[in-house]
């Protein structure tokens, strides 16, 4: 979802649009440092498992992945590799 603040993410994920868009799909998340993705991934799993709100009766995501450590850690690890 298109959000400007992390605090608006729970409302954005608990919508019919989000539930339908993510149903049965593999969800890949990334953020700068990884902390927000940890929280967002945990929230999305709990929300889709709860079968309530907009997710009631919807198929949950097939899998939820996140880039451990975020983009920052990825660039620190792999950013200098040139082939």
Answer whether 32's CB lies under 8 Å from 70's CB. yes
Q: Which of 13, 25, 30 is nearest to 70 (CA)?
A: 30
Catalytic residue of the set 31, 54, 67, 71: 31
Distance, in Å, from the CA atom of 78 to the CA atom of 57, rounded to the nearest integer, reads 41
| Token duo for residue 83 | 């082939």
Active site includes 37? Answer: no
Q: Which residues are catalytic?
A: 31
């Amino acid at each position: 979802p298109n959000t400007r603040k992390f605090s608006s993410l729970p409302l954005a994920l608990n919508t019919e649009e989000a539930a339908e868009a993510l149903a049965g799909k593999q969800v890949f998340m990334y953020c700068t440092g990884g902390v927000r993705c940890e929280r967002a991934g945990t929230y999305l799993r709990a929300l889709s498992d709860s079968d309530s709100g907009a997710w009631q009766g919807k198929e949950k995501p097939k899998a939820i992945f996140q880039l451990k450590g975020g983009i920052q850690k990825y660039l620190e690890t792999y950013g200098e590799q040139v082939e």
